[in-house]
Amino acid sequence: MKKLLTLLIFFQLAHGYCAAQCGRPSSVTALYSNDMRVFISNSGDMFRDGNNYGEFRFAAEGLPGTTTILAQGLWVAGIDPGGNLRGAAQDYIMGQTRSDFAAGPVNTEQSFDASYCQNWNRIWSVARHEVEAHIIDFEDNQQIDNPISSLMEWPGKGNPFFEVRLGFPLPVISHDLAPFYDRNNDGIYNPLEGDYPRIPNLSIIPEQISWTVFNDVHRNISQSQFPSAGLEIHLCTWALDCTDNTMLNRTIFMKYSFINRGTERLDSTYMGLWHNFEVGCFSDDYVGSSPQHQAFFAYNSDPVDETHCITGESFFGAYPPAQAVSILNRPLHAFVYTSSPSMDPANPTAFYNVLTGRHADGTPITAAGSGYNTAGPITRYAYHGDPRDADEWTMYDVQWGLPYRLARSIGSVDLGTLNPGEQTAVELAYLFVREPGLGHLENVGAMYEQLEILREQYANGFSDNCAQAILSSETEQQHPQAFAVFPNPAGDRLHFRFEGQRINSLELTTLSGHTALSFKGPFWDAMDVDVSTLPAGMYFVKMEQNGAVIVKKLIKH
C-alpha cells in the first residue's frame, strides 16, 4: 500500500497536479530582534500581518515604524523534458483563496488528508536567549535539565521528540530540514544531546531564527496558472542585534532552499523575488539595480518623502532612506521593472519572460528611457546606473509625467538544472540605509558602500563584526531556578518568583514587539499578575535587574 501511495503521488507530481489539495497557507510570525520589524509568512508572499501588507518596517525610532516594502512574492519556474513550463509565481494574496503554494513538505510517505496541511501550517521560531540558556544547561553537566519547548520542537532532521510534542511526524528524507549545530556529528538533531538551532557558517548566534516549509504540489488552485514543478521550498530567516554595528542592526537575512521532489528534471530554472517597494509614501519612489553588488533597490525620487501620502501611511520626511535587496551567494541574473508599458505578467509564459530578464511580452529590456522598445542597448538589468550620475541610465533621469509611480519589480537568479532529488539554495540580505543628514541620493551612495561591507562580512561569517549584549545575568546562569515564571502555559493568573532578588521592571511583549503589560518596580522576591485580559498566544517576559535583562518565553491559554 505504501509503494502504491508513493507511485500515485509521483505520477501526480509529473503531471503537475495532486488529487489531495491544501488551502492557502496562513501562518505568520514576526522578526523584531533589531531595528527592523518584519513579518514572515509561509505562503510564498511576504511582509503582511493577516491581510494587511506593508510589514517590512524600520522601527528603531519607535513602533509601529515606517515601511519600505509593501509586499514580496516568490516566483520559481523551469522547463520539463517535454518543453513545458512548470513552477509557481505568487504576488499579493490579500483575501484570495488561490495560492501557488501549500504548507508543508511534499508528501510521499504519509497518508494525505486535511490535517496534514493544518499540521504544517506553521513557522518555527527560536530566540538567542533560549539557545544560550540551552547551551549553558548542557555544558553544566552534559545533559539538559530544563528543556526549552522551542528547541525540543525544532524541525531538525530526525528530531526524536518532534512527533511526541507536536502530534505528527517529521518526513523521513535524505536532505536537511531546519538548520542546527550537530554536536556529535551524527546527522540527527537531538536537543538532549546538546544540539541546537544554528545558521551554518555563522560565527555567532542570531538574535532570532525562524524556519518554515511549503511546496507547489499540494496547492488548491494556482494563482499564476503554472502547472506544478514538484518543488519543496524551505525558508529560513534570521536577524542579528549588534551593539557596535548599525548596518547589521538594519539587515534581515533569508535563505530559500529548493528541492526537486518530482520525477522529472527541471531545466533552465529561475527563482525570482517580486517586490512592491513602498519607501514611506509610495507616490514618489524609484527603483534601480546594481549588478556589481548583485543587488536591486528602491529610493525616494526627491529630497523629502511626501508628507501628504494619499494612503495615510507614515512617511520619512526629510533625508529619506534607500532599501536594498542583495543576493549573497549567487549572481543576480536580471532585474525587471514590471510597471512598465508591458505591465505585470498574467500567464506562465509572461512570468517566465520576466524571470529570464525580459519584459512580460518577451520584449528585451533596452537601456534607455522607459526600457521598453527604446534605442538603448539590450540589457537584463533595468535602471542599472548610479542615480547620482546624470550620464547613467536611472529612473531619476527619466521624465515619466505620471501622478505617481508604482515601484513593482523583480530580481531573479539562475538556478540552472534541478534533477530529481537535487537541492539548491539562494541566500539574500535586506539592507535598510538611512545615514544622519544624508539626502535621498546620498543614501543611495551610502547603500553602495554598505553593500560592499555587508558582502565582505557575510563571507567571513560576521566574525568579529557583531558584539552582542548580555541577555541573562550571571546570577540567573548560576541559579536558573531563582527566576521562575509559572504556570506556563498560563491561565488567568501568572506568578513570578525571584527569591532573594530585586527586579527593577517587568514587561510582557507580543512576538511582534508590542508591550502587552508593563510594571515598574522595584519588586522583591515575588509578584502575582492578572493576565486574564490577554489574548491567547505566545509572549516574552522581560525582567530587568541592575542593567541585565532576563528573558523567558510564556504561553497564554
Tens-digit pLDDT profile for residues 302-311: 899 876 676 6
Per-residue pLDDT, 88: 96
Q: Please tell me which residue, 159 or 307, carries the higher pLDDT value.
A: 159
- Share the mean pLDDT of the chain: 86
Q: Closest Cα to residue 31, out of 150, 141, 123? A: 123
CA distance 503 to 546: 8
Same domain, 487 and 433: no
**pLDDT tens-digit readout, 416-434:** 999 999 999 999 999 999 9
- Is residue 488 very low, low, confident or very high in pLDDT (cuts 50, 70, 90)? confident
Average pLDDT over residues 435-447: 96
**Domain end (from 418, 442, 466):** 442
Any domain includes 146: no
Same domain, 431 and 520: no
Per-residue pLDDT, 338: 86
Cross-strand pairs, 253: 238, 429
Same domain, 330 and 388: yes
Same domain, 251 and 323: yes
Decide if pLDDT at 13 tops 50.
Answer: no
The four Cα atoms 332, 324, 290, 448 give a dihedral, to 10 degrees, of -130
Any domain includes 374: yes
Per-residue pLDDT, 287: 94
Q: Closest Cα to residue 174, out of 183, 187, 193? A: 187
**pLDDT tens-digit readout, 358-383:** 999 999 999 998 899 999 999 999 99
CA distance 326 to 328: 6
- pTM, 2 dp: 0.82
Q: Please tell me which residue, 412 or 468, carries the higher pLDDT value.
A: 412
Average pLDDT over residues 34-47: 92
Decide if pLDDT at 41 tops 70.
Answer: yes
Decide if pLDDT at 226 tops 50.
Answer: yes
Decide if pLDDT at 62 tops 80.
Answer: no
Same domain, 271 and 406: yes
How far is C-alpha 103 from the geometric centre of its chain's CA atoms? 15
Overall number of domains in the chain: 2
Q: In the chain, what percentage of residues exceed pLDDT 70?
A: 87
Any domain includes 458: no
Same domain, 284 and 392: yes
Same domain, 369 and 260: yes
Task: Report yes or no: 472 and 551 within 8 Å, Cβ to Cβ.
Answer: yes
- Is residue 413 very low, low, confident or very high in pLDDT (cuts 50, 70, 90)? very high
Per-residue pLDDT, 475: 36
**pLDDT tens-digit readout, 489-545:** 788 888 888 766 778 888 888 765 678 898 888 887 788 888 989 988 778 788 876
CATH number at residue 532: 2.60.40.3080
Per-residue pLDDT, 549: 67
Q: Closest Cα to residue 486, out of 475, 497, 471? A: 497
For 25-39, the three-class secondary structure string (H helix, E strand, C coil) is CCCEEEECCCCEEEE
Q: Backbone phi, then psi, for 391, in 5-degree steps?
A: -90, -5
Look at 207-216, 221-230, 341-350 and tell me which has the smallest mean pLDDT.
Answer: 341-350
Q: Closest Cα to residue 115, out of 178, 153, 168? A: 168
Any domain includes 163: no
Measured CA distances, 373 to 290, 362, 369, 383 (Å):
22, 11, 9, 15
Same domain, 280 and 222: yes
Same domain, 435 and 491: no
Task: Report yes or no: 96 and 24 within 8 Å, Cβ to Cβ.
Answer: yes
Task: Report yes or no: 325 and 295 within 8 Å, Cβ to Cβ.
Answer: yes
**pLDDT tens-digit readout, 101-119:** 999 999 877 667 778 989 9
**pLDDT tens-digit readout, 318-351:** 999 999 999 999 999 999 998 755 566 889 999 9
CATH number at residue 66: 2.70.98
Look at 53-62, 325-334, 548-557 and tell me which has the smallest mean pLDDT.
Answer: 548-557
Per-residue pLDDT, 267: 98
Cross-strand pairs, 306: none
Per-residue pLDDT, 133: 87
The CA-based angle 40-46-50, given to 5 degrees, is 75
Which residues constitute the domain of residue 315? 1-108+205-442
- Is residue 7 very low, low, confident or very high in pLDDT (cuts 50, 70, 90)? very low
Same domain, 434 and 484: no
**pLDDT tens-digit readout, 234-276:** 999 999 999 899 999 999 999 999 999 999 999 999 999 999 9
Look at 197-211, 304-318, 343-357, 437-451 and tell me which has the smallest mean pLDDT.
Answer: 304-318
